[in-house]
Structure 1
Amino acid sequence: GTWGPNPGEEVTDSDSEIVQVGSIEAVPEVFPPFEGDGGTTTSMLASDLLNNGPATLDNVTIRVIDADPGVTLDTSTALITLDPGYPAGEHTVEYEICSIAIPTLCDTTVETVVQAALPGIEATKTQSFVDVNGDGYEGVGDRIDYEITVENTGNTPLEDVVLTDTLLDLNGAALTLTAGPDFVSADQGSPEGELEMGEIATYSASFTVDLQAINSGGVENSVLAEAMPVYGPGVPGTPEPISDVSDNGIDSDGNTEDDPTIYRFQAVITSNGLTLTKTTPRDIVERGQTVPYTITVTNDNAFVVAPVDIVDILPGHFMVDPDSATLDGVSVAVGVEGLRITWEGVTLPANSTVTATIDARVLNGVRAGVHTNTVSVYDPGTGDVLVGPATADVRILPEAIFDCSDVIGRVFEDHNGNGYQDDPTAARDGGITDQTYYGGGKGDKLSKAPPSEPSVERGIPGVRLVAVDGTVITTDENGLYSVPCAALPADRGSNFILKLDERTLPTGFRPTTENPRVVRLTPGVMAEINFGASIGKVVRIDLGRAAFETDAHGAPALRPALDLGIRRMVSEISGEAVIIRLAWHVAAGADADEVAQGRALMRLVEKRVREEWRKAGQTQLRIETTIVRAVQ
Structure 2
Amino acid sequence: MYSLQNNLGLPSLPLARMLTSILPFLAVATPAALLAGDVSNTATVSVGGGAIDANTADNTATDEDVLLATIIAVDDSAFDINGNTGQAGVLNVFGGDTIDGNPAAANTTVVSLAPGSALPTGITFDPVTGDVGVAPGTGSGDYSFDYQICQIDAPTNCEIATVTIEVVAPDSTLSGTVFRDQDGDRDLDDGDTRLGGWIVELFDGDTLIGSIVTDENGFYEFTGLSGGVDYTIKFRDPETGVVYEQIENVRLDVASSLPDQNLPIDPSGIVYDSVARTAVPGAVLTLVDRSGNPLPDDCYIDASQSNQTTGASGAYRFDIVPGAAAACPLGESEYAIRVTPPAGFSFTSSILPPQPGPFDPTGLGSPVTIGNSANIPIESDPEYFISFRLQNGDPDIIFNHLPLDPFLSRDGLIVTKTSTRRSASVGDLVPYEITVRNEETFRRADVDVIDVLPAGMTYVLGSARVNGVAAEPELANGNRELVWTDQVIPAGSSVTYELVLLVGAGVTEGQLVNTGVAENGFDGSEISNRGTATIQVVPSTVFDCAELIGQVFEDYDGDGYQDEGEPGVPSIRLATVNGELITTDEYGRYHITCAAVPDARIGSNYVLRLDERTLPQGYSVTHDNPRSIRLTRGKMSELNFGIAEADVITLQIDARAFATDGSLNPDVLARMQALASDGDPRSLVVRANYTIAPGDTPEQVEARLRMISTQLQTIFDTQWDGPDPVIQVNATSATAAETGELGQ
The answer to whether the superposition gives a TM-score over 0.5 is: no
When Rg is computed on C-alpha atoms for both structures, the one with the higher figure is 2
Structure showing greater relative contact order (alpha-carbon pairs closer than 8 Å, 6 or more residues apart): 1
TM range (shorter): 0.3 to 0.5
Return the TM-score normalized by structure 2: 0.36
Q: Which structure has the highest strand share of the two?
A: 1
Return the TM-score normalized by structure 1: 0.41
